[in-house]
Amino acid sequence: MSMNQKERYESAKERYARIGVDTDQAIARLKEIPVSLHCWQGDDVTGFDHDGPLTGGIQTTGNYPGKARNPEELMQDMDQALKLMPGRKKLNLHASYAVFEDGRFADRDQIGPEHFAKWAAFARERNMGIDFNPTFFSHDKVKDGLTLTSPDEETRKFWIDHGKACIRISEYFARETGMPCVMNIWIGDGYKDIPADRMGPRMRYKDSIEQILSEPYDKALVKPCVESKVFGIGVESYTAGSAEFALSFAATHGCLPLMDNGHYHPTEMVSDKIPALLCFYPEIALHITRPVRWDSDHVVLFDDETREMAKEIVRCNALERVYMALDYFDAGINRVAAWCVGFRSWQKALLNALCTPNRELERLQDENRMTELMIYQEDVRLAPFGDVWEEYCRQCGVEAEGRQWFETVRKYEEEVLLKR
């Protein structure tokens, strides 16, 4: 005799209780955790302030119809995606998504809160905070592939002023939404072939960030981060913002290290780096993506490394110490669906971590009962997690199964996206 959804959840709840997990508590906790949703999935990282190509060693692939072409379309698409996602959301913006009304353009060193008022209103109406990123790529003032590391002082000053403007905008966002704004600094500066000077660009980068952070701001409202990367397209031999640079700068300047799990060598696991950094930093930040052999920014899935990253955050009791944001862009599939799949996958990973008997597994490890640990971990994999996920989605007022919510996306594609 088949059970209905409520009966399946009660059965799953009982099974989890036998291994020491309170699924009601896990669901309630997940509802409190904000995850930042990136606007740039909707238009392939194009933005609204330039007509040139995407630069900075990153790349989108695909040409699926329906790409957002202006702020109104992008907000409309994001709104559709948000309605299909469970959980608490923040909005993640790049500076290149400034909205210039009545043709009043401002270059990146001159942008201000007024150019993001529409985004602030969008977030307030949906009870969302906003995270922010200066855009150090895709601009005419990127000289010889360099911004904050440029030996040309006029170029470097332009980008320092851009960073300072973003500090002011970040504080504006925090005051408007009532939630801290994570402001992340990432540059694609580097060299395609072997450089003659590795230290010089990094000293200029260090000085540039120090100048940016000299802009006055409320440290309770703005959370500056520095993000590293191992390489990018066209900067294969050297990137100024290496992991060692970013970690050292953050440790000595009172800001946060931000790890993007696509920005490392394929054999490096960010899940292993999270507890290492939490030993030393009060707070850290993450960009969650899915790298396929390099920083390809595939849509996040409920795969092994995604689950392991979430487990480490939960195991370390660090849900209040880790700022989580999604960062991927796929132009080859429906973009609204891409947002939904990635966000839901990270929600699944967090819920799965909250439904893991972490203290019991830790005890087996500490007692060197490694055979039992392996067996127990395999048993936990087979727990009826899908029924808990379904209950979480029900409580959040969204469909649990992809085939159900995708029908809404398919209809939106036919009625809106394909008519662009």
Give catalytic residues, as residue numbers.
Answer: 186, 227, 229, 260, 263, 287, 295, 297, 327
Q: What's the burial of 394, exposed, middle or buried (CB within 10 Å: 0-12/13-18/19+)?
A: middle
CA torsion sign for 304, 306, 309, 310 is negative
Q: What's the burial of 107, exposed, middle or buried (CB within 10 Å: 0-12/13-18/19+)?
A: middle
Residue 60 in contact with residue 329, Cβ under 8 Å?
A: yes
Q: Tell me, what amino acid is at 333?
A: I
Count Cβ atoms below 10 Å from residue 208 Cβ, excluding itself: 24
State how far Cα 160 lies from the chain centre. Answer: 24
State how far Cα 29 lies from the chain centre. Answer: 20
Angstrom distance (rounded) from CA 42 to CA 220: 30
Rg of the chain over CA atoms, in angstroms?
22
Angstrom distance (rounded) from CA 252 to CA 156: 22
Q: Closest Cα to residue 113, out of 59, 60, 173? A: 173
Going from the C-alpha of 123 to that of each of 33, 37, 61, 101, the distances in angstroms are 17, 11, 29, 19
Angstrom distance (rounded) from CA 412 to CA 398: 16
Count Cβ atoms below 10 Å from residue 61 Cβ, excluding itself: 11
The phi, psi pair for 373, rounded to 5°, reads -60, -45
